[in-house]
Structure 1
Amino acid sequence: MTKIKCTVAYDGSRFHGYQVQPGKRTVQSEIQAALARMHHGQLVKIVASGRTDAGVHAHGQVFHFETPLRVPEDRWAVALNSLLPDDIYIRQAEAVADQFHARYDVKKKEYRYRLLVRAEPDLFRRAFTTHIKQPLDLDAMNQAAEAIIGTHDFSCFCAANTEVNDKVRTIYHLSVQQEKDDETVIRVVGSGFLYQMVRIITGTLLDVGTHKLDPNQVAVIIAGRDRQAASATAPPQGLTLWQVTY
């Protein structure tokens, strides 16, 4: 058996998230269907670095699978892309050591959240940005971001229905930068992320940026470990899993 590591991009707009769900179109089910065609109908399970929610995109999601097929390493991406729908694209495929694990070996993940900041919406960017009508105070948002960087119990930035007990994570980088005249990007790099953590951080930074929340309050919110004290969860479509580092 050979273990193959793949880096995959996908447009999450028409998926019910990454993970297989009965009767629903998901990223995992589409990739596994393509692999089954290559393996004469046999199920080949893939293991990813983590899940993404419905509507969330990926530029550099990573998964692995094991196969008995003797396909040249440089042909795996070509073969899979010929069988996958046009909203999934295998960017790279390579053989890796048997010990490699796409989830447990992750060192860092980077997410990017893209905001369209202008009075009117843009129908042609609505699937990949979240529309914010009023200007944002980027200085205040970056001041608040400083309180989030570091190792903390991030219970306040975790969806209430999670089953994870250990909510300590490390954020290595968090910044808010303007790109183009009307787009702003929130970039966050961390050791790992809780369920909906990036979207709740984004919602909180947006409240700071629109002066609904003082940036000094963010440290207090983190210390309180109360989800109700943080802001609403930002919509999914602005979010992209950008890169996974091993």
Structure 2
Amino acid sequence: MIRYKAIISYDGTLFAGFQRQPSMRSVQGELEKTLQRLNSGEQVQVHGAGRTDSGVHAYGQVIHFDLPQDRDLEKLRFAFDTQTPDDIDVVSVEKVSSDFHARYNKHLKTYEFLVDNGRPKNPMMRHYATPFPYELDIEKMAEAIKDLVGEHDFTGFTASGTSVVNKVRTITRAEVSYDEKSHLITFTFTGTGFLYKQVRNMVGTLLKIGNNRMPVSQIKTVLETKDRQLAGPTASGQGLYLREISYHDEMTKGD
């Protein structure tokens, strides 16, 4: 068997999430249906680097899968791309070693979260940015977001009911920017991994801070107390994008 790694992008609007689900449309399910057709009807299992929720988008999701044949990479990418639905794009395909695993190999993930701060909100962005048509202090959010950088226990930013025991994660980059022309605010987070709804909960807290309904120190308070009730609400999923995944061997090339 030959193992292939692919980078895919998708519009998450009409998906119930990345993970295959019974009787619901998923990114994994659509990819596996396409690969089955390309593999003479034989089933092919797709493994993703991470799961995205309903409505969440991706520019750089990474998957891997095995095929019995050694395929021409561009022909495989083209066939894979053109036979998947229009809301999925196959950006690249490459061969990797048989021990590569999209999820378990060490990597960094980068997420972006878009907020439409326009008044009135832009209807064209309703599936691609979370509307927040209220006054926001960008400088306060820029100051507060710095407290997320580093290794922390993110229990206070985790959705209730998660089964993950170890909630310590490392964030290497946390930034916020504002585009005056489009009225879009972009939050960017890079880290070793993120807990269920962690990014959306961090954004919800930062928006409360920017709206002067929480102090700038609230991020520190939530991290120290590990109390979810002290964080902001969960921001809606349509503003979230899986931007990029960088694997350890890619990050160290040239060192």
Which TM-score bucket, shorter chain as reference?
A: over 0.9
AA in 1 matched with 2:35: L
Stretches of 4+ aligned residues off by more than 4 angstroms: none
SS at match of 2:213: coil
Contact kept? 2:157, 2:222, Cα under 8 Å: no
Match status 1:207 vs 2:204: no
Distance in structure 2 (CA, Å) of the matches to 1:217 and 1:25: 38
Q: Give the aligned residue type for 1:26.
A: S
Residue aligning to 1:64: 64
1:195 counterpart = 2:196: yes
CA distance in 2, matches of 1:39, 1:227: 46
Match of 1:86 in 2: 86
- Structure 1 unaligned spans of 5+: none
Cα drift, residue 135 of structure 1: 2.6
Deviations 1:47-105 (A, max 9, x none): 11100000000000000001102321222210101210000000000001112110111
> Map of 1:210-221 to 2, 5 A cutoff?
210-221=211-222
CA distance in 2 between partners of 1:151 and 1:34 (Å)? 40
Structure-2 change in CA distance of 1:91 and 1:217 (3 Å): same
> How far apart are 1:132 and its partner, in Å?
1.1
Match of residue 53 from structure 1: 53
TM-score norm. by structure 1 comes to 0.98
**Aligned alpha-carbon RMSD (Å):** 0.9
Conserved 8 A contact 1:118-1:135? no
Q: Is 2:115–2:186's contact at 8 Å kept on the other side of the alignment?
A: yes
The alpha-carbon deviation at position 217 of structure 1 amounts to 2.1
Secondary structure of the residue aligned to 2:71 is coil
What is the Cα deviation at residue 179 of structure 1?
2.4
Give the TM-score, by structure 2 length.
Answer: 0.94
Is the aligned partner of 1:121 residue 2:121?
Answer: yes
Q: Give the whole-Å Cα distance in 1 for the aligned partners of 2:245 and 2:106.
A: 7
For 1:108, the equivalent position in structure 2 comes to: 108
**Aligned-pair CA distance for 1:163:** 0.5
1:134 aligns with 2:134: yes
Asked if structure 1 preserves the Cα contact closer than 8 Å seen for 2:8 and 2:59, the reply is yes
Identity %: 37
Unaligned runs of 5+ in 2: 248-255
Q: Do structure 1's residue 155 and structure 2's residue 159 form an aligned pair?
A: no
Once residues 195 and 215 of structure 1 are traced to their aligned partners in structure 2, the CA distance between those partners, rounded to angstroms, is 24
Partner of 1:99: 99
Describe the superposition over 1:178-233 as per-residue Cα deviations: whole angstroms up to 9, x where unpaired: 12521110001011000010000000000011111001121011111121221110
